[in-house]
Amino acid sequence: MQQHQVTPAQKTKLKKQEERRRSERRQREDEYRRRIERLRRQIEEALRRRRRMLSLFLLALLAIQESILKAFVRSFTYRPDPDPADWTPSPESDFAAQTGHDDYCDGYSYAQWTKMVHERGIRVSRKAELQETWKADPERENFPQRYKDWGYRPYLGEIMNDLSIARWQSDALTALKLMSPSEVHKYLDESYAADPGDLLMCRADLSADIIKNFERAAIQWEIRKAREAEEARQEKELSRKSNNEDGNPEPK
């Protein structure tokens, strides 16, 4: 069998085709290499950004925790001035720490406070003064035992708070009448008998305002009772007239 003979022109053509295929293959390989390198750079940049964002987040979290810790330490590790040169404690403002406690008041422990007041000749405490004043108050004997046992004369606002507790409502009413003008006592009794909770509407921050609220409520209470009495009278009159028109004898 005779083999096919390749002419020089065909050989040249085949050679050119092979070179073209090799060139295209090298171009594709270079393109793939560039793509891989670009992806690697993108991955590395993404990792750097993620690490940077994570680092920033952790730094911010650390700063917040440190600030909270500093505030906490400042609030619980107050160090008093060991040598108070120009500050004199006043018996009218007794802020000393309590006996047997390690707390600090005005920057002084109980031991420091006691030593200082003894050195300066201060003996009377505000609490003891209030208690002695209350014991010497002639009206104290008229108060319920609950308030007699207090270390000071009760305030109207504190007594109003007792109105919200069932077990102390009766004592609170007695104390309210002792500390308010007689003009409102009838209102206090009647309102308490109807619903003690109604008296709580007269609450206020100042005792003088509570008294004003009592006086205002007492007037409104009397007006409401008068109106209700008049309405009842008119209803009774209408009923009587209706009975007369029906031929029923007028009640004697």
With vertex at residue 190, the alpha carbon angle to CA 164 and CA 188, rounded to the nearest 5 degrees, is 60
> For residue 65, what pLDDT band results from cuts at 50, 70 and 90?
low
Burial degree of 160 (CB within 10 A; 0-12, 13-18, 19+) = buried
User: How many residues in total does the chain contain?
Assistant: 252
pTM: 0.47
> For residue 180, what pLDDT band results from cuts at 50, 70 and 90?
very high
Question: What's the Cα-to-Cα distance from 162 to each of 140, 141, 155, 156, 158, rounded to whole Å?
Answer: 18, 19, 11, 10, 7
What is the pLDDT, as a whole number, of residue 25?
Answer: 80
Q: Is the pLDDT of residue 95 over 70?
A: no
Sign of CA dihedral 75, 81, 85, 91: positive
Q: What is the mean pLDDT of residues 90-111?
A: 54
Instruction: Enumerate the β-bridge partners of residue 105.
Output: 108
CA pair distance 159, 143, nearest whole angstrom:
12
Q: Is the pLDDT of residue 106 over 60?
A: no
pLDDT, tens only, 153-175: 888 888 998 888 889 999 999 99
Query: 85 or 49: which carries more pLDDT confidence?
Result: 49
